Structures are given as structure tokens and as C-alpha cells.
Amino acid sequence: MSDKLYHECHEIISQGKAILEDLQQWGFESVVPLPAEKPVATPGQIQEEKTTFETGALAELESNLMGCKLCSLAKKRKNIVFGAGNSQARLVLVGEAPGREEDETGVPFVGEAGRLLEKILLAMHLSRDEVYICNVLKCRPPGNRDPYPDEIAACEPFLQQQLALIQPEVIITLGRFAAQELLKTTKPIGKLRGQWHEYEGISLMPTFHPAYLLRNPSGKRPVWEDMKQVMRRLNLT
């Protein structure tokens, strides 16, 4: 074996080892091949999907939101981040609020937390175009600060209408704000996650926010436990 080939093999084995170690952190005990490999979508592709799938009443709701000045976030936002994905999705994921990259592109979860969310979806045998992703707030809070109660209240009717139009079988809330907003509770996320709740007759599973997982990888295992419950409920296993 030549030196070059030896080094290439060594590199491939090291990368494989790193991937298996990452999966182990999620609580995987064995690896089975996915039915088909789907590439992680680029923001451009996501934007294309967004326009394809947002039809009818959902598109009308989005156009009602254009130019919204119901709260002070309107002053500094670059784009309203309405939501993206399949308007007939069986699963809706609700995050907190757009960050810098989402504000720039108008698409939810395209930054680092979004890339982690896509990995979670892939592990559930789902892609972004099969689910619908949106946030409690449709505009970016400056410096990614926590949403204020008046901002949540101003944006609430839009989220409520999105969910009423999509009528998914399951909602996953990501992090404290989405869970507390939809469940009308002040309980901490640590107490809410991992158990089924109900929002307007729809099964709701709260879990940790992907941004929290980036800072606390030990949260990945409980998140995977929550996702396995969702997979069972949607018969994805």
C-alpha cells in the first residue's frame, strides 16, 4: 500500500469513528442504513421548497403578515420569518424566534441550531420538506435576546392560525418559550419535556432547543428519547 493510500484510509476510518462517537452521544446502540439518503438542504433549496409548499390559506396568512408593525421588532428586522415546509405536514416543529441567519434569509432554522435540527430530523427518517417549521416570534429580537411578553402576545394569533390551518398530528416545541406559549404554563422545560401534552386536540411533545444542545451535548440523549416517542406516535419506526 502506498503512503498516500494509507493516509486516505486512515482519514476515512477516523471520520467514521467520529460519526459513531457522535451517534453514541444520542443514545444509538446500533446503526441500520436509512431507506434512502437525502442531502441536507441548502438555504436556496429551502427557499424554493418554501414557495412550492406554501399554498392557499397559509400563503394568504403569510401575506397578511407582510409589513407587520404590531411590535417594535419591526424596526430592526430584515425579513419576517413566517415558516417553511409542507403545509400538509403531519409534524410541525415550533422554535423560539429567528436568529441572525434566519433574519437574513427569511427562512427558519438555517443557522447552526438549524443544522443540528436537520440532523435530528434525518435520524427520525424525516427531511425538512416533509415537516413544517416555524417560530413563536416571526421577527428577530435584537442580539438574540429572549422574547418579551408583548412581542409574544402580538405574534400569537399568527402561530395559532398556522397550526389551525396545517392541523398536524403532532407538534414538537423546541425550548422553553414555545412550550410555555402553546401550553399556557410557566413550568420549566425540564419538567415539561418527555411527556405528551395537548394543544387544541393535537398531541404536543416539548423537548430541548437545538441551540441548548449545542451548548450542552448531554441533552442529546433525552432529546432522542423524546423523538423516539414522536416516531412511535407517527408510526415512523
Q: Does 83 bind ligand URA (CB under 6 A)?
A: no
Indicate the burial class of 69 (C-beta count within 10 angstroms; 0-12, 13-18, 19 or more): exposed
Q: Which burial class, exposed, middle or buried, applies to 214 when counting CB atoms under 10 A from its CB (0-12, 13-18, 19+)?
A: middle
Binding flag, residue 99, ligand URA (CB under 6 A)? yes
49, 54, 96, 226: which one contacts ligand URA (CB under 6 A)? 96
CB of 67 to ligand URA, least distance (A): 20
Angle CA(21)–CA(207)–CA(165) in degrees, nearest 5? 125
Q: What is residue 42's DSSP assignment?
A: P
Mode of pairing for the β-strands spanning 170-174 and 91-95? parallel
Burial of residue 150, with CB atoms counted within 10 A of its CB: 0-12 exposed, 13-18 middle, 19 or more buried: exposed
Using the rule CB under 6 A, is 98 a contact of ligand URA?
yes
Closest CA to 25 of 237, 213, 168: 213
* 103 lies in the binding site for ligand URA (CB under 6 A): no
Q: Does 97 bind ligand URA (CB under 6 A)?
A: yes
Interface with ligand URA includes 141 (CB under 6 A)? no
Nearest CB to ligand URA, comparing residues 17 and 100: 100
Please, what is the minimum distance in Å from the beta carbon of residue 110 to ligand URA? 7
Q: Which amino acid is at 21?
A: E
Q: Which of 102, 103, 118, 226 lies at the binding interface for ligand URA (CB under 6 A)?
A: 102
User: Which residue number, 84 or 170, has a Cβ lying nearer to ligand URA?
Assistant: 84
135 counts as binding ligand URA under rule CB under 6 A: yes
Q: Examine residue 95 and tell whether it contacts ligand URA (CB under 6 A).
A: yes
Question: Does residue 131 touch ligand URA according to CB under 6 A?
Answer: no
Minimum CB–partner distance for residue 183 and ligand URA (Å): 17
Closest contact distance (angstroms) between CB of 159 and ligand URA is 12
The Cα-based distances of 228 to 25, 27, 106, 224 in angstroms read 15, 11, 30, 6
Residue 132 engages ligand URA in binding (rule: CB under 6 A): no
Binding of ligand URA by 158 (CB under 6 A):
no
Task: Tell me the residue nearest to ligand URA as measured from the CB.
Answer: 95
Nearer to ligand URA, 102 or 226 (CB): 102
Ramachandran angles phi, psi of 101, nearest 5° = -70, -35
25: enclosing H helix or E strand: helix 3-25
Please, is 88 exposed, middle or buried when counting C-beta atoms within 10 Å of its C-beta (0-12, 13-18, 19+)? middle
Report the interface residues with ligand URA, using CB under 6 A. Answer: 95-99, 102, 108-109, 111, 113-114, 135, 211
